[in-house]
Structure 1
Amino acid sequence: MRVIVMFDLPVVTLADKKEYLRFRKYLIKSGYLMMQESIYCKLATNSNTADALIRNVKKNKPFRGVVQALKITEKQYANMEFIVGESKSDVIDSDERLIIL
């Protein structure tokens, strides 16, 4: 199983920023890996462990903002599709970079 935690937290005031950093540090110290900004994922051995992870996230949630937790199977996670835009490279990948001396 995987537990995916997504959050949208305000960072307007200094107190909001501290809460954001505290929550993010909690996730990292708990073994969550960042998939994207504000989306973290952790592997769980079974459904009971995943439920315990979600309970711990609820205990450490910030006072303001939205935190969402999603529990999915490893098979569902493996079926994730990665859709990316056009990639750019500064290296010319053709015969234009060939220098004849």
Structure 2
Amino acid sequence: MRGNLLGKSSRTRKPSARIAQKANEPAAQFRLGSVVATVWRDGQSYSTVLAKTFPERDDHMHTDRLDSDDLLNAAKCLEQAERFVAAQLGRPPRR
């Protein structure tokens, strides 16, 4: 999960999506602020990893620990991940 830290975002911004082109890359990534939901494909199933990125020295680090300010962004990223997986599996997203 490499990428640039996008800083704080407004609550009205939609998560940005990146859809993979290569087999060894994630199927998709959804980023909002510093929160990233990465969708991985394993045969016919999918799994999602939720992480937060933060700068450290000259690199970006990842953690699974979210602050209270990250929770809404995490929910929105996970919702986008769920919609992506549902579309890949040919079923409607859950409500």
Which TM-score tier does this pair reach, normalised by the shorter chain? Answer: under 0.3
Relative to the length of structure 2, the TM-score reads 0.27
Who wins on radius of gyration, i.e. which is larger? 1
In proportion to residue count, which structure has more strand? 2
In proportion to residue count, which structure has more helix? 1
Greater RCO, 1 or 2 (C-alpha within 8 Å, sep 6+): 1
Relative to the length of structure 1, the TM-score reads 0.26
